Amino acid sequence: MNFQQFPLGSSENPYDLIIVGAGPAGLAGGITAGRNKLKTIIFEKEDRPSPFPRGETLHNARIFSQILGENVLNLISTHLTAGRKFNSPMSLNSVEVFRRSPSIVYEWNKLIGLLLSRLEETSVELKLGTEVENFIQENNICKGVLLKTGEKIWATSVLVADGHKSKIGHRINIPYNRINFPIMKRIISNFRGDYTGFEYFFLVPGMLEYAPRFPPSVIFVFPRGGEKCEVGLMIFSDMAQKLQKICDIPNEEEIRRVWELLISKYPRFSKLMKNTIVEFEGYTYIGAGQIYSDPMPIPGLFLSGESMGLIEKSGASGIATAMQSAKFAVDFISNYKISSWSNQIARKYSQEFKKSKFLKHLKGNARKTQLQKKFFFLYLRTAERINQKWNLVKNAYKLK
């Protein structure tokens, strides 16, 4: 049979790979696929790739030079810092620690632009404004995707890279309520802070008179250089679920209300926010909870990045691991010359994925972070007790 007589993406002439989502994971997967000469198409539901900026801090990792080129992070970085300051409830105490390697603060749109420029060097197709509704399944094998228009596009493999609210992830019942934490994010200018490192303010139930049942949370302040700063509020939903007798899991309206009050009233943080100018603000979720256990729930259907909670839990940074997971999937297709899938090949992929260095790092980081949260929010629990026992907290951070 001459497959060339059938249009690419038909059941008779499928793509080698369909990628769902054009964020860092999807674009890195596409770049890798293009370099590996795989017939590939990327579908992105928005009219431009990844319009909502995610966490704009990262640590230098080999994946960036592999995908973007050597020293390219210098083109997008705005600030470097290894410093961390952790503030106790009501900012009564603090401890400063330093990481072995600095965090790189960067501009989201510049990173996406660089990824797009690398993608344009390949023959990979990018379809914007095209939403994937579901995946096609035959005999328990993924065979392609169903677009919202009703059109079916066929492929040997599908890479899910559509982030924390993945539609395909919901289709296969990934428990995003255990993976995703609510987060407010604001980019500001005219920031005149007195600390150039990252700063955190911990909140516990019962400490805010204007929100006594507000759950365990953290305010973060990430200077970006040039009087710009990223600030936000993240809710620890996992801790809130364990403390339901004394706290609530708030909806978006309540989180926004408390956020505004924190900006105007919270000790030290309100002073840092004074006279700042809002350049961007948004409410979203970030996969700082559990990591989903199965990277290929159906043969031929790869999960990557935030679609399965692949984020470093200590700092909620997931750009490197999103790109690593996507490259890992595409390299598997190329290395094993996958032309069809079976349960046996899917198990082999899952086994290799679970042995990967980046996943082992993420799981180790998650275990350590979970122990710290339990000590802070479940054992010490109250603002008064945390401040009384601050030396314990201080020593714990300095021993990290």
382/379 Cα distance (integer angstroms): 9
Predicted pLDDT of residue 51: 81
- pTM for the model: 0.94
Predicted pLDDT of residue 252: 98
- pLDDT at 1 > cutoff 80: no
pLDDT, tens only, 233-256: 999 999 999 999 999 999 999 999
pLDDT, tens only, 125-142: 999 999 999 999 999 999
Contact 181, 286 (CB under 8 A): yes
Instruction: Report the first-to-last Cα separation within the chain, whole angstroms.
Output: 62
For 80-102+181-286+378-398, the fitting CATH number among 3.30.1660.40, 3.40.30.10, 3.40.640.10, 3.30.9.10 is 3.30.9.10
Going 327 to 331 to 332 to 334, the CA torsion angle's sign is: positive
Which range has the worst mean pLDDT, 50-54, 57-61, 183-187?
Answer: 50-54
Which pLDDT band, with edges at 50, 70 and 90, does 395 fall under? confident
Amino acid at 115: L
- pLDDT at 338 > cutoff 70: yes
Contact 124, 42 (CB under 8 A): yes
Contact 105, 222 (CB under 8 A): yes
Q: Which whole number is the average pLDDT over 202-212?
A: 98
Q: Which whole number is the average pLDDT over 292-320?
A: 93
Amino acid at 27: L
Contact 249, 390 (CB under 8 A): no
334/83 Cα distance (integer angstroms): 41
Predicted pLDDT of residue 341: 98
DSSP letter at 4?
A: G
384/88 Cα distance (integer angstroms): 10
What phi and psi, each to the nearest 5 degrees, are found at residue 122? -110, 180
- pLDDT at 314 > cutoff 90: no
Predicted pLDDT of residue 50: 87
pLDDT, tens only, 70-117: 988 888 899 999 999 999 999 999 999 998 888 999 988 999 999 999
237/215 Cα distance (integer angstroms): 8
Predicted pLDDT of residue 101: 86
Predicted pLDDT of residue 400: 46
Predicted pLDDT of residue 237: 96
pLDDT, tens only, 134-174: 999 999 999 999 999 999 999 999 999 999 989 999 999 99
Predicted pLDDT of residue 398: 62
Contact 330, 38 (CB under 8 A): yes
Q: Which whole number is the average pLDDT over 10-31?
A: 98
More confidently predicted of 52 and 8 = 8
Predicted pLDDT of residue 91: 97
Which pLDDT band, with edges at 50, 70 and 90, does 4 fall under? low
User: How do the domains of the chain map onto residue ranges?
Assistant: 3-56+109-176+291-355, 80-102+181-286+378-398
For 3-56+109-176+291-355, the fitting CATH number among 1.10.10.350, 3.40.50.300, 3.50.50.60, 3.40.50.1000 is 3.50.50.60
Tokens at 180, concatenated: 């995703």
